[in-house]
Amino acid sequence: MHNKAERLKKVTAVRKADIAPELAHRVPPGQTVTERFPILHEGEVPRYDLGSWTLRVFGEVDREQTFSFDDLLALPQTKIVCDIHCVTRWSKLDTEWEGVKFADLLPLLGAKTDAKYVMIHADEDYDTNVPLADLLREDVILAHRFDGEPLTDKHGWPMRLLVPHLYFWKSAKWIRGIEFMKEDRPGFWERNGFHNDADPFEEQRFSSEENSMPEDEWMKKEFD
């Protein structure tokens, strides 16, 4: 672990224009490829007792229910390898994750037929909205492992959402609730100037051209 940390400190980020041509189509406009895994979040890093941790399902469902961590581990587990893209302009390629595919979980949730949108609720007081159709893609999972190891606290232990085709703020850490909705409504960042859809290849970063952030902001953050 120490050697990996030292190696990452020396990593030079690579802008899209400088990466290998065979990889260029995987990197959205305005992104920089890095081997780092920057740590960005709002609020404090929560700590959990897995014996009392639950994931609540509510809203437009036949009945509210909760799942324990063990309940989710008992379901079929899926490993995926994907690229991830943060609105702060970093991209990390070929990341490996393991968890429960949302499409596999859906039949257990009792969502009503007119539920077309989902609000993901997370600690600390965070939420983000995602169309149900996006969550049903084959690479969308409730992840509890990264790179062959359990998620670290700072990356969302014990469970985070992974929606790799959207900017990474949609991949909420520390998820605690899945709310099904008939109509869309904005989540935390969507209420604070971020784009509702968050497609990296369309550069859907902000809801207004007046919003921006420094291109190197992510390099100032903690990472592993």
- Over 175-188, what HEC string results? EEEEEEECCCCCCH
Domain boundaries, the chain: 43-204
Helical (H) or strand (E) element with 134: helix 132-135
CA angle centred on 14, ends 2 and 142, rounded to 5° = 65
Q: pTM score, two decimals?
A: 0.86
The 10s digit of each residue's pLDDT in 149-198 is: 999 999 999 999 999 999 999 999 999 999 999 999 999 999 999 999 99
Q: Assign domain 43-204 to its CATH superfamily.
A: Oxidoreductase, molybdopterin-binding domain (3.90.420.10)
pLDDT at 223 over 90: no
How are strands ordered across the β-sheet holding 65-68? Answer: 65-68, 54-59, 175-181, 117-122, 126-131
pLDDT band, residue 3 (cuts 50/70/90): very low
Distance in angstroms (rounded) separating the CA atoms of residues 48 and 96: 24
3-class DSSP assignment, residue 4? helix
The 10s digit of each residue's pLDDT in 49-73 is: 999 999 999 999 999 999 999 999 9
- Report percent pLDDT > 70 for the chain: 83
